[in-house]
Amino acid sequence: MAKTSMIVRDQRRSEIAAKFASKRAALKAVINDRKATPEQLDEALAKLQKLPRDASPTRQMLRCRITGRPHAVYRKFGLSRNKLREAVMRGDVPGVVKASW
């Protein structure tokens, strides 16, 4: 089980990213606009850099839904490799079978 503080930190990051998503998208649109003047571009870059670091969605960590483990998490299932293996062995995941050859 992951530390509770780390799980809470990631939840806070996702809330902050959602809060600033529209503002980031607007600034990114100005930055990527080829018709923008250099002054507009500089202003948009400065505003984007003043946003909180946690406003970027890339700072969020994909975690296991059960244990909160940050590594070896399968996106399709939302589970880490350990919990996914246990669920497959119990038969909780439809369509997934143990390999044998």
**Is the separation of the CB atoms in 66 and 82 below 8 Å?**
no
The pLDDT tens digits of the residues spanning 35-84 come to 999 999 999 999 999 999 999 999 999 999 999 999 999 999 999 999 99
Residue 34: per-residue pLDDT = 92
Task: Inform me whether the pLDDT recorded for 1 exceeds 90.
Answer: no
Task: Inform me whether the pLDDT recorded for 101 exceeds 90.
Answer: no
**Is the separation of the CB atoms in 61 and 74 below 8 Å?**
no
Would you call 64 helix, strand, or coil by DSSP?
Answer: coil
Distance in angstroms (rounded) separating the CA atoms of residues 89 and 98: 8
Walk me through the domains of the chain, giving residue ranges and CATH numbers. 1-61 (1.10.287.1480), 62-95 (4.10.830.10)
Residue 78: per-residue pLDDT = 93
Distance in angstroms (rounded) separating the CA atoms of residues 68 and 82: 12
